[in-house]
Structure 1
Amino acid sequence: MTQPTKGATCPVHAPKDHPAIPPQKTGILLANLGTPDATDYWSMRRYLSEFLSDRRVIDYAPWKWQPLLQLVILSKRPFTSGKAYKSIWNEERDESPLMTITRDQTDALRRTLTEEHGDDVMVDFCMRYGNPSTQTKVREMTEAGCTRILFFPLYPQYAGATSGTANDEFFRALMKETRQPAARTIQPYFDHPDYIDALACSIEAAYAGTATPEILVVSYHGMPQRYLTQGDPYHCQCQKTTRLLKERLGWDAAQITTTFQSVFGPEEWLKPYTVKEVARLAKEEGKRRIAVVAPAFSADCIETLEEINEEIRESFEEAGGEEFTYIPCLNDSPAHIDALTQVIRENLQGWVS
């Protein structure tokens, strides 16, 4: 990472005691959901408390929600969540796969953008919950001379509980800066041709290496049905991603279906639920071979590596399914990095040449 003092100079006519000013540059700050620092109870509790206290995620009145969260849910859930994280933990780096992959994506993008723009850009990443925090990275960028920051939540489809809350935290971080940089946020890229093409290529590669699945289940992270009726565009953007993917692959409607996973709490969420739909496909439609892909996730994480590849796989197999193919997220694949780079280029127009 560029040091704040590198290349710093004093203005020509400034007094001798004027602080050195680093060369101006443009920051590209990637953002993902977040991760616990470790799998033990207290690390999990801190992370889950921050996540589940976000009013964009759980919008119940705090006086009603917080006692339930702090006294009941967080007395048990850190143990079960910690066990799930431990099953996928990157022991070599002592971090979650989401942290590893997001760092790898950032490194790849930094290499590409530095080749194009040299020291005029600074590329880094932050997490909405946990570390590295958005506020820390915004401060590092401003101290390094970033007078402009492009903020890029790594969610193709917009939802208030993902892109929305990430943007909120970015703007809160800007409020703490004495000299605020100019700021832009990325438009959702759920229908960007390069993103759709990268998804399609990953599916074609997976299908080439196995007996052709009878149906592709396109599983998106869920949210309460109520959020859709309140105006959140997430559901519509997910449906469009699936449609564009189907068209790019040249498939008919019988070969692909949209579902939603990760249901939490008592109210109705977007349907069909992935865990129930894969069982129905096996029991009622006699599907013996299916594949599952998760386009809403830019990097494999607990919801894909543990929930899809373990819980949802088990639901399908217990219902009579035989071959379950999980197609990994795009992660730091060259096609994904190319797609993200193109989105960044389009959003940097007018800021860098």
Structure 2
Amino acid sequence: MTRQPAFPAPGILPCQSIEALIAAGDISADSPFLPDQVQPASLDLRLGARVWRVRASFLPGTGRTVKERLAAVAMHQLDLTGGVVLEKGCVYIAELQERMRLPAGISARANPKSSTGRVDVFVRLLTDHGAAFDDVASGYDGPLYVEIAPQTFSILVRAGTRLNQMRLKAGDPPRLSVRSVGVDLTGALAGFRARRHAGVVDLDHEDGHDPHDFWEPLEPRHGELLLDPGEFYILASKEAVEIPVLEAAEMTPIDPAVGEFRVHYAGFFDPGFGTAEAGGLGSKGVLEVRSHETPFLLEDGQTVARLVYEPLTERPSRLYGEGGSHYQRQGLKLSKHFRLW
């Protein structure tokens, strides 16, 4: 009989529930879990030993496994144990160290980590028999893979590098609220535009890169910023973002009819982000922005994304930023791989 854990109501699982799933063997891994791998309402996922360069992105579909589909699209295999450079403009599929054996009633959703999105690396989770990226069906029992597509910078990764994270859910949590997120173009520094021909970013080397080699600072003119097609920008939200301790949030793109650009590859905000209780009062949301086919004139305060809030099943035993965080109390800020501007 399939085990079905009991929760008082549908919601996002907090860290102690994730740790209970690990202890029960419902989430396992090729190597021991690390103490900081479980976040207040999410689990960091780690690259395994192998990655395949593929000629095209794919979904396995309901009748096939990822390995079966790889056989038709893989160009060559690379060993991640010693570190590998993944080239921008190419698509890769990597195995992850974690494996799921989810109980009935527990599903999951993945998203890039903040530091991954801020260097313009597009990542999506894949599961066997999966018909959608980033979603793990209730009761899924099998391995996990990640599609990696560096867009602006080539990246150096290794077995154990964390590119994405997973949020687990009991049942179908309701939307508690949806809040608009505007862009701040009032300061002397409006944001940063990525340099097209920069070097390699080592994703395990914090504070180890000179930002001037990778980014161009931008000054707003009359509260406006012209987005060029195909360019990648780091901007900040107009409003401070606060995630109550009994909620979690995901930042989602706006309707394309509102503007020809994509915002925020990395969408999870854990409970305690931006709260006074966790020492983060006044934290801004950092926005990863890419314009599409046409130039687009962005105005100060314009809505560029939405925050969707969902309940937790219970209060997490720790909050975002407790014990230190690169992004608590942040304003306009590059990823942790770069020294301060």
TM-score tier by shorter-chain length is: under 0.3
TM-score relative to the length of structure 1:
0.25
Compare the two structures and name the one with the higher strand fraction: 2
The structure where helix makes up a greater share of residues is 1
Structure 2 length as normaliser, TM-score? 0.26
